Amino acid sequence: MPTIQVDGLEIGYDRAGEGPPILLLHGAACSALSWKPQLDGLADEFTVIAWDEPGAGRSSDLPDEGLGFADYAAAAAALIDRIGAGPAHVCGLSWGGVLAQELYRHYPEVVATLILCDTYAGWAGSLTKQEVESRIALVEAALSSSQLKTGLPGGFASEPPAEYADLASRMEAEVRPRTLRGLLDHAWADTRELLGRIAVPTKLIWGDADVRSPLSIAEQFAAAIPDAELTLIAGAGHDCNIERPAEFNAAVRAFCRANSEPATCPKPAHSVSGGRSRRRRSG
C-alpha cells in the first residue's frame, strides 16, 4: 500500500494506470474504496489516484484538535506533488467536492481542472439553516449509536452493479468516531464566494435522482462557475459514480480528454509541503 507522510500524518492512496493524472477525493464516512469503479474503469487512459483522507481508510486518525480545510488541502497538494501527479484533474464527490474547492483555493497551481460531483458549496452554502441543523442532529445521533452511519438520505436511487454492491457497507464498517466529529467542525462551511472565481475548466456531474444534494444545488454551481459543464446521470442518486459507473466514467473520460496535455504523469517536483494551519470551521 503506497503512503506519504505529511505533517506527521500518514496518507494512504491507491494508484492505477498511466496517463494524465486524475486525483479522486471521496465523500464523508467513505474512503478510497468508493472510487473502485473509477480505478477499474479509467486506468486504461489515465493515472488514477484515490486517496484516503486523514481519518479514513488506511490513513492516520485525525489529530485531537482536528484539521481545518487548509490542512486537508495541504495534504492533498503534497500527495499530488510527491507522486509527481500535478497539475491534476481533481474530482471530488460530496464532501470530497468541497475539499476539491478548497484545494483549488489554496493550491491552484496543482489543479488542472475540477470535476465536482453531487457536492455542496459547503452545507451552509447550499442548504437551508434548518436542513444543516437537521444533518448535524443526524450525525450526532450516529455518534451516540453503536452503528456509525451518518443517517443522511440514501446514496443510491436503485441498485449499483453487483461487483460494487458491497462498497458502502465495507466503508461503513471502517468509519471512526473522531472522523465523524471532524465533519461537524465544518458543518457551517460556505464556499459560495469562491465559485465565481474558479478559472479552470470545470465539469459538474450529478445523479438526477440525488436527494442528498438535489439538482437545485447543481443548478447553483452551474450558474456560479464560469463556463461550467453539467452532466446528469439518469436514474442515479448521490453516489452516482458507484451506482452508474459506466455513465460516470464516460463523462469523466470525455472531459479529461478534452482538457489534458498529451504528456503523461510527470515525475515528482517536491515543491509543495504540508503545514498544518490548525484553522477549524474554515471554508
Nearest alpha-carbon partner for 255 in 9, 12, 3, 42 = 42
Average pLDDT over every residue of 139-158? 79
The residue behind cell 506519504 is 4
Question: What percentage of the chain has pLDDT greater than the value 70?
Answer: 90
Give residue 158's identity as a one-letter amino acid code: S
pLDDT digits 0-9 by tens, 95-145: 999 999 999 999 999 999 999 999 999 999 999 999 999 999 999 998 887
User: Residue 169: what pLDDT?
Assistant: 87
User: Residue 164: what pLDDT?
Assistant: 96
User: Does 279 have pLDDT greater than 50?
Assistant: no
Question: What percentage of the chain has pLDDT greater than the value 90?
Answer: 81
User: Residue 275: what pLDDT?
Assistant: 52
Average pLDDT over every residue of 66-90? 95
Pairing mode, strands 21-25 and 47-51:
parallel
Question: Minimum mean pLDDT among 2-16, 159-173, 209-223, 261-275: which range?
Answer: 261-275
Coil, strand or helix at 140: helix
Coil, strand or helix at 89: strand
- Residue 77 CA to chain centroid, in angstroms? 14
| Domains of the chain, start order | 3-258 (3.40.50.1820)
Question: Minimum mean pLDDT among 34-38, 80-84, 278-282: which range?
Answer: 278-282
Could you tell me if 207 and 230 are in contact, meaning their C-beta atoms sit under 8 angstroms apart?
A: no
User: Residue 99: what pLDDT?
Assistant: 98
User: Does 59 have pLDDT greater than 80?
Assistant: yes
- Residue 257 and residue 277: Cα distance in Å, rounded? 35
Binned at pLDDT 50, 70 and 90, residue 149 comes out as: low
Could you tell me if 211 and 127 are in contact, meaning their C-beta atoms sit under 8 angstroms apart?
A: no
Residues 6+ apart with CB under 8 A from 204: 115, 116, 117, 218, 221, 222, 225, 228, 229, 230, 231
Q: What is the DSSP letter of 267?
A: P
Phi, psi angle pair for 139, to nearest 5°? -70, -40
- Residue 91 and residue 6: Cα distance in Å, rounded? 21
User: Does 147 have pLDDT greater than 70?
Assistant: no
Q: Give the DSSP per-residue string, 59-83.
A: SPPPPTT---HHHHHHHHHHHHHHT
User: Does 154 have pLDDT greater than 80?
Assistant: no
Question: Minimum mean pLDDT among 239-243, 255-259, 272-276: which range?
Answer: 272-276
Coil, strand or helix at 257: helix
Q: Which three cell numbers stand for residue 219?
A: 443548478
Could you tell me if 124 and 187 are in contact, meaning their C-beta atoms sit under 8 angstroms apart?
A: yes
